[in-house]
Amino acid sequence: MKDGRRSYTGFNGYRLLALLRGSTLLLLICISTVFWCIPLYLFACIRLAVPARIKIWCTKGAMSIAECWIGCNNFFLDLSGVLALNISGLDEASRLSCDKWYLVFCNHQSGVDILILQYVFNHRIPMLKFFVKQSLMYVPMLGFAWWALDFPVMKRYSKALLAKHPEWQSVDLATTRRACKRFQLTPISVLSFPEGTRFTIDKHQAQGAKYQRLLKPKVGGAALVIGALDKQIDSLIDVTIHYTKPMPTLFGFLCGTVGQIDVAVKQCLIPSHLSFTEYEHDPVAKQEIQNWLNDIWWEKDQALQQLSTRKTKPQNLAVTDSQVG
The answer to whether residue 16 sits within a structural domain is no
> What pLDDT is stored for residue 118 in this prediction?
96
Please give the Cα distance from 235 to 4 (Å, whole number).
57
The answer to whether residue 5 sits within a structural domain is no
Residues 6+ apart with CB under 8 A from 205: none
What percent of the chain has pLDDT above 90? 42
Please give the Cα distance from 120 to 305 (Å, whole number).
22
Strand partners, 169: none
User: For residue 227, what are the domain limits?
Assistant: 83-309
> What pLDDT is stored for residue 280 in this prediction?
75
- Is the pLDDT assigned to residue 13 strictly greater than 80? no
What is the mean predicted confidence (pLDDT) over 106-112? Answer: 94
The answer to whether residue 325 sits within a structural domain is no
The whole-angstrom distance between residue 150's C-alpha and the CA centroid of its chain comes to 16
The answer to whether residue 63 sits within a structural domain is no
**What b/e readout covers 64-77, taking b as 16+ CB neighbours within 10 angstroms?**
ebbbbbbbbbbebb
Residue 101: give its domain's CATH number.
3.40.1130
Domain count of the chain? 1
- Sequence-ordered alpha helix ranges (H) in the chain: 2-49, 52-80, 112-121, 142-148, 159-164, 169-183, 201-207, 220-228, 250-255, 283-309
Residue 132 near residue 151 (C-beta atoms within 8 A)? yes
The tens digit of pLDDT for each residue in 190-220 reads 999 999 889 999 999 998 888 999 999 988 7
The pLDDT-based confidence of 157 (bands split at 50, 70, 90) is low
The tens digit of pLDDT for each residue in 308-318 reads 887 544 444 33
Q: What is the SS3 assignment for 169-204?
A: HHHHHHHHHHHHHHHCCCCCEEEECCCCCCCCHHHH
pTM: 0.85
